[in-house]
Amino acid sequence: MSASSPSISRAGLAGEIRTTVVLAAPLVAGHVSTGLIGFVDNTLAGHHSTTTLASVTIGTALWWLPMMVPIGTLLSVPPSVSQLEGAGRRGEIGGLFRQALWMAVLLSVFLFAFLTLIPHALAAMGIAAEIIPGARDFLHGIRWGVPALTLFFCMRYLSEGLHWTLPTMLLSAGGLLILLPLGYVLTFGKFGLPEMGAGGLGIASAAMLWVQAIGFFLVLRKARRFADLRLFERFDPPHWPTIRGLLATGLPIGVTVLMEGSLFIVTALLIGRLGEVPASAHQIAINLSALCFMVPMGLAEATTVRVGHSLGRRDYHGVRNAAFAGYAIVVGTQLLSGILLLTANDLLVSFYTADAAVATLAASLLLYAAAFQFPDGIQVLSAGALRGLKDTRRPMILAALAYWGVGMPVGAGLGLGLGWGPKGMWIGLIAGLTVASVLLCTRFMRSSEPERLARRMAEESPHEVDPRETGCTREA
């Protein structure tokens, strides 16, 4: 296809890049703030003790492992909202949102139950005995923030789907202002309070999540730009056909996110079996690489919205322009991330720990993190573009193949089977992400062919669920 083709025209692509940057910048800042929450947790834990850091490593892994499913499932909200607005059906958004809130509550119930039960299985998982008490206390504390987190993401995804990303940035950054002092006080036992270690960090994190959720509720309730949606002006009981429609799109996304996230989390759990030093070093390296990942993640979410909006307008060439803009930006951001991790690895690790053994291993692992910056950026951007198309089921299968058919066998075989330790496990991460980037990018290029999109949209409504059947009728 030539450069003058309408799907990738230079003028259209340049304008789309500008739009994506404006939309994504607050999302990136918000994600970086979220990543810094992990940085605060790990820094406080690392300065408390190596055992506390290892406990938070395992606790965080078991917290995020199940959380991937509800967060991913709720990612059905942005493309649904953006397609409705693009199709001129803004009045149906309020009813859809209230059903999404019911879905968030339902998901939180299952997650709370999981976090209540899973600490009893730590010993059976082979987690080192000295790590188990702190990990258990961390999970018991943070589980009380589960309902707040699912509701927060539901409200956040609504706002982002309507191209308003500033609240995500402000509330995510505001969480740091709560977590840092409260986490310090509860972890180290200041002002007459008991020293709670990892358990204190769990409680502080839960408190922060509730403040963020309440804050987002107030923002949506008071914002003039959402007044016509009447988001909270009436009570809607659960309408299962609508919820099923959201789940039909969202659950494959949740499983896809779980496939990737669980690769990292199970890697952390396997490394946790090797002892405190490998577990702590891995946590430092993975936290720093996760901070870098916040940038392409924000770009991917912006791309979801832009692709969904173009699809709702039936601008099929605009769909590709939106994705190509994301790809162009992510290549630059990942180059910068790779250079940073290669050249400043020792300095970055020094912020976390003074333990020489932990620092040396963590710095070496950051070299592997630098190697997967490009495939990591491409795979998450491709997944975001596919979400905008509501193409979620086939990507779920491709993700399972890449992460668990390639990544985990390679990592476990090298790290545990051949005794390469954490470095072998990280080679598995590189392999899985590389395969995922190729498969998901290829899938998007196929799914976004204008002729294919035109045929698909001719066969279905701009929204998968008929509003006359769901009760999500116009309210304005």
Render pLDDT for 264-278 as a digit per residue (tens, 0 to 9).
778 877 887 777 788
2 falls within a domain:
no
pLDDT of res. 240: 85
pLDDT of 337 > 80? The answer is yes
State percent of the chain over pLDDT 90: 26
7 falls within a domain:
no
387 falls within a domain:
yes
Mean pLDDT of 21-49: 79
pLDDT of 460 > 70? The answer is no
358 falls within a domain:
yes
Cβ neighbors of 105 (< 8 A, separation 6 or more) are 147, 150, 151
44 falls within a domain:
yes
Contact status, residue 23 vs residue 306, Cβ threshold 8 Å: yes
Q: Residue 352 to residues 36, 140, 179, 274: CA-CA distances in angstroms?
A: 12, 25, 17, 20
pLDDT of res. 218: 94
pLDDT of 26 > 50? The answer is yes
Mean pLDDT of 242-257: 83
pLDDT of res. 476: 36
Contact status, residue 232 vs residue 220, Cβ threshold 8 Å: yes
Which residue segment(s) compose the domain that 424 sits in?
A: 13-470
Residues 62-99: b if buried by 16+ CB within 10 A, e if exposed: bbbbbbbbbbbbbbbbbbbbbbbbbbebbbbbbbbbbb
pLDDT of 429 > 70? The answer is yes
| Total number of domains constituting the chain | 1
475 falls within a domain:
no
Q: Residue 74 to residues 114, 182, 309, 324, 462: CA-CA distances in angstroms?
A: 19, 29, 18, 25, 19
pLDDT digits (tens, 9 = 90+) for 190-210: 887 888 888 899 999 999 999
Cα–Cα dist 213/28, whole Å:
19
Cβ neighbors of 147 (< 8 A, separation 6 or more) are 105, 108, 112, 213
State percent of the chain over pLDDT 70: 93
1 falls within a domain:
no
pLDDT digits (tens, 9 = 90+) for 93-109: 888 899 999 999 999 99
pLDDT of 3 > 50? The answer is no
6 falls within a domain:
no
Cβ neighbours of 345 (radius 10 Å) = 21
pLDDT of res. 381: 94
Q: What is the overall mean pLDDT for the chain?
A: 83
Does the pTM exceed 0.85? no
Mean pLDDT of 398-419: 90
pLDDT of 4 > 50? The answer is no
pLDDT of res. 233: 81
Cβ neighbors of 57 (< 8 A, separation 6 or more) are 42, 131, 268, 272, 279, 280, 282, 283
pLDDT of res. 2: 37
pLDDT of res. 464: 43
- Give the helix/strand (H/E) hosting 240: helix 240-272
Contact status, residue 326 vs residue 305, Cβ threshold 8 Å: no
Residue 459: which pLDDT band, with cuts at 50, 70 and 90? low
